[in-house]
Amino acid sequence: MTVGIHSGHSDACPICSGEMRLCFSEQVLGKYQANYELCALCGFLRAKDPYWLNEAYSSAIAVADTGLVMRNLAIASKLSGVLYWLVRERGKGLYLDSAGGYGMLTRLMRDFGFDFYWADKYCDNHLAQGFEYKPEMGPCNAVTAIEVFEHLTDPATFIKETLAFSGARTLIFTTELYAGDPPAPGSWWYYAFATGQHIGFFQRRTLEILGKRLGLRFSSANGIHIFSEHQIDELILRFVTGRGVSRIAPWWIRRRLGSKTLSDHQLMLQKIG
């Protein structure tokens, strides 16, 4: 392992077009040497030329992701308050979970009363079958991308394509941010060198610069990040995603919107009948 900012010139930063310079090298998947580059202008850190990705994604969801269930439960609780109080129409209309994995978040959000749908190019839908999104269904009020950004080689293109596909004007996402200098390779679990799937890492300023480039406003609180054409009040965002409110809000919202658990059950029975 080597650490430090080195003078070797590399490609332009995909976020701000600044110069990317070698920051450190580390082994991924237990056998491949990877170089990680840093943009000093915006703080974007990435794995350069991640040639190991096909092997890393031999399984769409890493077997080491033991936090998948708890993470979805926590995100669904926070997301319900964000969608109800900060996104227009108070929980009505369509919503999409892009890169939706097995469909767990889609199912949870439908159980809370939101008309949520699923899409994913690389994973099978196991838990929200029958609720796959198609653009002809109409535009979505918001689209989510949970634990996606750290997997991207081109975040700007992903954002533009996801918003265009969903017709949404608000993208809600999660990814762990770092502040200051990049964490040392052995001190930050989020690098996930063992799985080789995490290849891009962001600071808040990285995302602010990316948002400006795309004409979107950026806001963030309690691990929930938002790109939107609309202004999002960060004080309210911090409040509704806080531990106390996010524990109570889903059940309060569920009573007002009406859970789709039973109606979805009846709909699926009709489809297989």
DSSP 184: P
* Residue from 216, 244, 245 nearest 232 by CA: 216
Q: How confident is the model at residue 88 (pLDDT cuts 50, 70, 90)?
A: confident
Architecture of the domain made up of 68-272:
3-Layer(aba) Sandwich (3.40)
Contact 48, 199 (CB under 8 A): no
Convert the pLDDT of each residue in 149-199 to its tens digit. Answer: 999 999 999 999 999 999 999 999 999 999 999 999 999 999 999 999 999
Output the six-digit token pair for 131.
């609720």
Q: Kindly give the pairing relationship between strand 115-118 and strand 224-228.
A: unpaired
Rounded to an integer, the average pLDDT of 228-244 is: 96
> What is the mean pLDDT of the segment spanning 41-49?
97
As given in the structure block, the two tokens for residue 223 are 């691990």
Per the prediction, the chain carries an average pLDDT of 93
Question: In the predicted model, is pLDDT for residue 65 greater than 80?
Answer: no
Percent of the chain with pLDDT over 70: 94
How confident is residue 4, by pLDDT bands cut at 50, 70 and 90?
very low
The reported pTM is 0.93
